[in-house]
Structure 1
Amino acid sequence: MFSDLKGSRELLENLTMREVKGKYKRTALGQLWSLANPIALMIVYSFVFAIVIRVQPAPGDPSGLDLFVLWLMCALLPWIFFSGVITGSMATVVGNENLIKKVYFPRSILVFANTLSALYQHVWEMVILVIVILLLGSNILIYIPLVAVTMILLALFATGLGLIFSIANVYFRDVQHFAGILFQLWFYASPIVYPAELVREQSDSFGPIIGSITIENLYYLNPFIHFAEIFRNLLYDARWPDWGQFGLVAAGSIAIFFIGWKIFDRHQDHLAEVL
């Protein structure tokens, strides 16, 4: 993998820049359009869950922040990046069918370029979020390096899944339709628009459902829950995350990345034939 990346570094750079520049080519606002989707979702979810349903997450501890919008964006922005990388990975492999059939190059470069272009956009979104939090008086500068590391881990995790989904989508085009349903379910199965404490309360009221297994035990099998909690610990609460949880996220992200790479590498030489 590393030799492929080193040998195709120029191609990776060109494909990444093509994704970054081409996405908003000939638009008046250009890169500012990348903020339109997060802002629109922020407005809708804040109205529905903060005003209508009145979801009230606990104030940041010890930051003291008590704004639903900021609490929401600390998990929503990583989710948009995460889901965007995976869906984009499926689209970029199938969408570059002609290129794959005409020229030989490491096919994984397409997926990596998709991740880098999405990460470029995600970095700007997170920078704006950090600036807003700082302006509101929460000094989170000491936690920024770990935020950056968590963003890289999320990128590795998403890329690993993106490599798996992109290969599956080449062989079975139903995967792209299945993924749309999966991410809708996954979104609401993650504590993005509601606090995880609500699930914990319901789990306690129901008690064990199978042996000693509770709803909360099954709920926390969702890997994105841990990413959301780490980002909120660092940005909203202004405190260090649980290091055991962070270590689990780091190990899992790296493992999924290399598993995805191995699966993709096993099939990438046959993509031209299948496509």
Structure 2
Amino acid sequence: MSIVEDLRGSRELLLNLTRREIKGKYKRTALGQLWSLANPLAAMAIYTVVFALIIRVEPEPGDPSGLDIFALWLLCGLLPWSFFTNVVNGGMGALVGNENLIKKVHFPRIALLVANSFSWIFSWSIEMVVLLVALLLVGANALPWVPLVVLFMALMSLFATGVALMLSVANVYFRDTQHFVGILFQVWFYLTPILYPVSLVAGLSDDVGPLIGSVTLLDLYMLNPVGEFVEAFRNLMYDNRWPELSTTLSCVAWAVAVFFVGYSIFKRHEKGLAEAL
């Protein structure tokens, strides 16, 4: 059975699970979904002070937008990163967190992970509105690029869900997975061009020279798929231009490949999840 057939037969369940995820995140809080803005805005403030004022990282102005505001440049990188990590972390714990439901009711288990992704898309949309308003206030022509941003974030959602599918299965059998991924994300964050521009890595790569044959440090650095999504997001929202063709093709390739690999692994282990839990 394909994923479309899986989800088509459980549309109402998927809707209810998504609704539960959205309501459950900030249940009994006064501000509700507005808390979804707290983490990225707090991180933006802290990193802006450290990297813009103390370390003095100076990315190039937006091309062709001309924007030269480090806080907004940073936020354009933080939002896709936080979306990716939230989808993966939430999906990784979806099976273990719904152990009782999985053992008692028969339904497509993938609905749990898709509902998690949908709930974070909802939260991301709130963050996007705030970013868009801020960009418009400083004169950026970001509004025409929003449909393309949605398209790229749909690709990133596909990529993140694929990673979550693989890790959710691993977490059922090896509960150390979530702790390992926490450390991995700390390293991955600093290996992604969020706090600094790629040009700094390119300069370091030129100084170091080829590592193995003609392979350079920059070549290895550019293998980071999340970096491609961050650059695409920044090109659209901050630079106000279409991403490079290589970046676009890379995002599409990573999204499709990782999702189908994750889905195939998930389907292979789906029948034994109840027993393993």
Partner of 1:221: 223
The alpha-carbon deviation at position 251 of structure 1 amounts to: 2.2
Scaled by the length of structure 2, the TM-score of the pair is 0.98
Whole-angstrom CA distance in 1 between matches of 2:254 and 2:179: 26
SS at match of 1:58: coil
Whole-angstrom CA distance in 1 between matches of 2:48 and 2:138: 19
The alpha-carbon deviation at position 112 of structure 1 amounts to: 0.4
Partner of 2:259: 257
CA contact 2:170–2:177 (8 Å) conserved in 1: yes
Partner of 2:38: 36
Partner of 1:121: 123
Match of 2:104 among 102, 105, 115: 102
Whole-angstrom CA distance in 2 between matches of 1:92 and 1:214: 39
Partner of 2:11: 9
Partner of 1:47: 49
RMSD (Å), alpha carbons: 0.8
The alpha-carbon deviation at position 30 of structure 1 amounts to: 1.0
Partner of 1:133: 135
Aligned pair count?
A: 275
Amino acid at match of 2:275: E
Query: Once superposed, which parts of structure 1, at least 4 consecutive aligned residues long, lie more than 4 Å away?
Result: none
Q: Deviations along 1:128-182, whole A, 9 cap, x unmatched?
A: 1111111111112221111110010000000000000100111111111100010
Whole-angstrom CA distance in 2 between matches of 1:226 and 1:90: 23
1:45-194 equivalences under 5 Å are 45-194=47-196
CA contact 2:87–2:164 (8 Å) conserved in 1: yes
The alpha-carbon deviation at position 203 of structure 1 amounts to: 0.3
Whole-angstrom CA distance in 1 between matches of 2:138 and 2:126: 19
Q: Deviations along 1:226-264, whole A, 9 cap, x unmatched?
A: 111111111111111112320221122012111111110
The alpha-carbon deviation at position 127 of structure 1 amounts to: 1.6
SS at match of 2:30: coil
The alpha-carbon deviation at position 215 of structure 1 amounts to: 0.5
Whole-angstrom CA distance in 2 between matches of 1:244 and 1:181: 30
Scaled by the length of structure 1, the TM-score of the pair is 0.98
Whole-angstrom CA distance in 1 between matches of 2:39 and 2:219: 33
Unaligned runs of at least 5 residues, structure 2: none
Overall identity of the aligned pairs, in %? 59
Amino acid at match of 1:182: L
Whole-angstrom CA distance in 1 between matches of 2:90 and 2:61: 35
The alpha-carbon deviation at position 20 of structure 1 amounts to: 0.4
Amino acid at match of 2:230: A
Whole-angstrom CA distance in 1 between matches of 2:197 and 2:254: 23
